[in-house]
Amino acid sequence: MQTGPHDTIALDVLLTQSRRHGLGTARPELYAQQRHGIIQRSIPAILGEIVNVLIVYGTTEGQTRKIAERVAKGISDRGHSVELHDSLEPDAGLDLETFHAFVLAGSVHQEQHQKAIKNFATAHSERLNASPAAFVSVSLSAALEETRSEAQSYVDRFVSLTGWQPRMTLLLGGALRFAEYDYFQEQVVKFIVMRRGLASEDGSDREFTDWHALDSFIDDFLERAKS
């Protein structure tokens, strides 16, 4: 399990500086509120408000793994505890009762999310429904406003199949990685992206993920998880 790497350092610095400035140690947050950067990011850990998050992802060409890693880093940088789990790996060693909140992420291929992420959500739907839990759905349909309803329909189908009702959902554009496709897949993908106007001018790989939207999602998710 990974934790925020700066928690101990931030606590030591915060207490030392608060003594120097006459703030005492009873309420170190008074000094921290005047600071920026690492100390400020570690306030939740210092004040005992750590949220322990499990992120489970399904990936095909690697973009959803990249997204899940970005979420994990964002949670850790904000002073919380996080564990990252590939849904293809056995989950027998995971004790879901030790986690306060959950993020599941999966990508859409042939109008379906990965079987492994569906299986995880189905097997643990009761625990997920009882906790702050969010779903990140990655698809090319989410990249364009006119096809976002299609992207939402994939989520609706996922929810119907698994029995899990995520409290938050984020639709994110994925990526085109032609090196990962066989000839048939490449032709199908090129046809789809050209029809939707998503192809790059030189036909190279292209990323559609809105990282700013993902960062905002992390903040909103943690606020809900703490409430």
Structural domain boundaries in the chain: 1-49, 51-174+209-227, 177-208
The reported pLDDT for the residue numbered 127 is: 97
**Run of H or E residues at 71:** helix 63-77
In three-state secondary structure terms, 198 is: coil
User: Percent of the chain at pLDDT above 90?
Assistant: 55
The reported pLDDT for the residue numbered 50 is: 84
Mark 157-185 as b/e (b = at least 16 C-beta within 10 Å).
ebbeebebebbebbbbbbbbeeeeeeeee
**8 A C-beta contact, residue 137 and residue 94:** no
Arithmetic mean of pLDDT, 145-169: 95
Going along the chain, which residue ranges are E strands? 52-57, 81-86, 101-109, 112-113, 133-138, 168-172, 175-176, 206-207
The reported pLDDT for the residue numbered 145 is: 85
Whole-structure pTM over 0.95, yes or no? no
- Nearest C-alpha neighbor of 57 from the set 71, 41, 42: 71
Give CATH for domain 51-174+209-227: 3.40.50.360
As beta bridge partners, residue 57 has 86, 105
The reported pLDDT for the residue numbered 194 is: 52
Rg (CA), the chain: 20
Q: What angle do CA 139, 143, 149 make, to 5 degrees?
A: 75
- Tokens representing 194 are 């050209």
pLDDT in tens, 65-90: 999 999 999 999 999 999 999 999 99
The reported pLDDT for the residue numbered 178 is: 54
The reported pLDDT for the residue numbered 42 is: 45
In angstroms, the CA 221 to CA 75 distance is 10
The reported pLDDT for the residue numbered 141 is: 87
DSSP string, 119-168: HHHHHTHHHHHTS-EEEEEE-SGGGSGGGHHHHHHHHHHHHHHH----SE
* Reported confidence tier of residue 184, pLDDT bands at 50, 70, 90: low
The reported pLDDT for the residue numbered 176 is: 73
* Reported confidence tier of residue 226, pLDDT bands at 50, 70, 90: confident
- Tokens representing 214 are 């993902």
